[in-house]
Structure formats: C-alpha cells, structure tokens
Amino acid sequence: MRATLQSFIDRQKTPINVQDFLKSIDETTIVSIEDYLKEQLHLKYKKKTTLSEVQYSEDWDSPQGIKPNRTFEWEDVISMIESNPDEKFNISEVWVPTSKIYVIKKFNRFPSLSACIRNLNFTGGLYWEALDGPTFYIAKMMVDGQMEHILISTIGGHRTMKTVLTSGYDSELPSRVIYIGDLDLSSVSKRAAKLHHIDCNKRANQTAQDRITSGVEAEDHVFVEVMKALLDMKLFVDEKQMKSEAIEGFRKISSWQNYWDLCSTIGYDHVKYAVGKIQEFTTDSVVLTQSLETIATFRKHFDEIVQRQTDDPDSLNEYLKQGFESGFVSQSDYRQHSEVTSNVLWMVDQYHKYLKNTLGRRAVITKQKLLKALGEDNLDVAAKK
C-alpha cells in the first residue's frame, strides 16, 4: 500500500470520525455459526436442507489424524473467569461447544458453506491435524432473552463450520480461548478485530472488501486514512457495513485500492474533482476507478491550459456535464481502452469536439503539450493499440 496522504489529513477542516458512518456493534449482524449454517443449507441446498441429509449425501469418514489434547473444558473457562474476573488469560487445548461460536460481520466474514464442503471432500472428512489453532475471544451477549457467555470467532470460522458439518450441532472443537479481563461485547470485539486483521491481512484468500473492513475496525492507521478519504468524497466500499442515514447520496467505489493509488499518484484534489463530477452528472450506483483515472489525469495535465484558453470559468465542468447528461457518454467510455494514455487521448479528442461544436473554439491541447504531459513512449504505445 502506498504512503499515506498526510497533506489530506492536515487540511481537513472538520476531522472525519469513520465510526460515525459505520454501523455500531449493536447495529451489525452477529450470528452463531450453527444458525448461519442452518440458514445456508436452506438457501443453497434445495434438496438437502438438513444437516443429516448433507452428511448422508457426502458420506464423510469419522475424523482422521492425531486428535488434539484435551486440557480444558468449556466449564473450566467459565469457572476461571468467575473465580478471578480480573485475571486475563490465553489458553489452548480448550474443547468448546460449537453452539457458542459467533461471527460478527462488523469485522469478520461469514464462512462459506460450499468451500467447507469442498475442503471436507478433499480430505474425506474432518482431519484433526489440519484444524491448526482456531482462536476465539470470550464475551457476553444477550441470547434468547438472557446474558450468556459466547465465543467471538477471529481465526477459525470455516473450521467451526466444518466441525459442525461432520460432527453435528453442539459438537466440540479444540480451540485457543482468550479472555481480556472484560466480557463487554464492544470492548472484546475491538480486540478480536485486531487479531483478525493481523491474520487476514496475510491470507491470500482474503478479499479486498474484507481487508478494509477488518483494517478499519482494528484501527490500522493506513486503512482508517483510506476510509476517511473515501468518506470525504462521499464513497463507500461495503454499504452493509455503513449507517444508511450517514451515507445518503454516497456511491460505491469499484476498487478502493486503485482509488487510493490514484490519490497518491495523480493527486487528491484531482481525484476529488473527478469523483464529484461523476456523482453530480450521473446516476450510476458505482464510481469506476478507471474512469476516475482518465478524468483526474486529464485535469492534472491540462486544466491550466484549458481554463486559460476559454472564457468559461470551468469549461471542463461544462464539457463533462454536457456529455454525461446528454446520455451520449458514460463512465465506461472513459475506460474503454486498456491503459490510461489511450483513454486520456480519447478524452482530449472529445473535449476538442466540445470546444468546436459548442463554443466555436479551436483545439487548445497541442501535440507538444501531449508529449510533455504523457511522454513520448506512452504516446507511441497508445498509437499502436
């Protein structure tokens, strides 16, 4: 990830608190993995809607490999907390009920049923040695009208689901359990988010959306800074994680990584201008980063030339407005080529047509200016496309 945009942070008139836009722990989805499995069976397996039907169909063997040690029981964990609530602990070889394991969508992803079944089919069932070290934080939450101890999944959601698939509901899973000296769900989830982010940020199968979700919740400085920049431009990555009333009028960004790269390489102000015009003149639900790149690059290199040659205080604004609102030009047109130079050249041509047909003015971006801005090598490559 590129260096942070400290200049952006420094010039914020009103500092952005990302948590004002994100759903709180009370507003987000918290579900037990067992309940989520039941839901997924009904949604995805029309002819096999119960666990027993799936088990019979897949015909998995009983767990194979070397079974982990059984040092602590679930009751031991509860007893340790109740006897000394101020004593923090981090213990392994704890066998916990799978019914106590929950996933919090605020920072974690839900396990994939299809991936779990595929992995189980590869090994012919559960393989003890492949479970590694499922890790959970213990907290308290209201369940069916009363406060109960639960386990927050950080590393091991898929392994929990695979255990339930092969061994049944309310089975047991060898785990590592962490108690932070506090059972408050909000406090514990902050710690759980940090560990989850450290783990998931190194996993190749973690999606970009998952990474920024966990990064912000874990208060990773760079991810928080990305989120602030997105919010400043009325953009979001995952609408489900946001407070609906706080993001009214916002749009989804197609790739937050590419967006952040553009802010660093082209310039924050140029990107913000391009985002603003797309939001103002289109009704698209998604802002395409490739289109942003074209418009922002054009503005970076040619805006001073453009405004110096016309009486219009912002002829680029008028050009974009006319194109988008007429319906003859869309965001996709600004990314129709595979690389940015060709897209910018297309935009230069369209802008010159606008000057001639609408304002009766000549072209203002000469070949010499194109060479200076985009480079001879890039122009040669674009010409060969």
Give yes or no for a contact between 129 and 66, defined as CB atoms under 8 angstroms apart: yes
Indicate if 128 and 193 belong to the same structural domain.
Answer: yes
C-alpha pair distances (Å), 276 with each of 62, 137, 232, 329: 58, 42, 11, 17
Domain that holds residue 111: 30-216
Of the pLDDT bands very low, low, confident and very high (cuts 50, 70, 90), residue 90 is very high
Q: Is residue 69 part of a domain?
A: yes
Give the per-residue pLDDT at 286. Answer: 95
Q: Which two tokens stand for residue 128?
A: 């003890």
Indicate if 210 and 322 belong to the same structural domain.
Answer: no
C-alpha pair distances (Å), 16 with each of 10, 13, 107, 210: 12, 9, 20, 22
Measure the CA–CA gap between 181 and 23, rounded to whole angstroms. 25
Q: Is the pLDDT of residue 3 over 50?
A: no
Indicate if 179 and 279 belong to the same structural domain.
Answer: no
Q: What secondary structure letter does DSSP report for 355? A: I
Measure the CA–CA gap between 111 and 218, rounded to whole angstroms. 20
Count of domains in the chain? 2
Give the per-residue pLDDT at 366. Answer: 86
271 vs 19 pLDDT, higher one: 271
The enclosing H or E element of 76 equals: helix 74-83
Q: Of 200, 216, 232, which residue constitutes the final position of a domain?
A: 216
Of the pLDDT bands very low, low, confident and very high (cuts 50, 70, 90), residue 130 is confident
Q: Is residue 151 part of a domain?
A: yes
Q: Is the pLDDT of residue 341 over 70?
A: yes
Indicate if 60 and 194 belong to the same structural domain.
Answer: yes
Convert 262-298 to b/e letters by CB count within 10 Å (16 or more is b). Answer: bbeebbbebbbbbbebbbebbebeebbbbbbbbbbbb
Q: Is the pLDDT of residue 272 over 90?
A: yes
Q: Is residue 338 part of a domain?
A: yes
Give the per-residue pLDDT at 29. Answer: 78
Q: Is residue 59 part of a domain?
A: yes
Q: Of 152, 183, 216, which residue constitutes the final position of a domain?
A: 216
Q: Is the pLDDT of residue 385 over 80?
A: no
Cβ neighbours of residue 171 under 8 Å, at least 6 residues apart?
97, 98, 163, 164
Tens digits of per-residue pLDDT, 281-320? 999 999 999 999 999 999 999 988 887 766 667 889 999 9
Q: Is residue 245 part of a domain?
A: no
Indicate if 292 and 370 belong to the same structural domain.
Answer: yes
Angle at 12 between CA 9 and CA 16, to 5 degrees: 85
Indicate if 211 and 273 belong to the same structural domain.
Answer: no
Give the per-residue pLDDT at 293. Answer: 95
Give yes or no for a contact between 243 and 25, defined as CB atoms under 8 angstroms apart: no
Q: Is residue 160 part of a domain?
A: yes
Q: Is residue 207 part of a domain?
A: yes
State pTM to two decimals.
Answer: 0.60
Give yes or no for a contact between 70 and 132, defined as CB atoms under 8 angstroms apart: no
Q: Is residue 22 part of a domain?
A: no
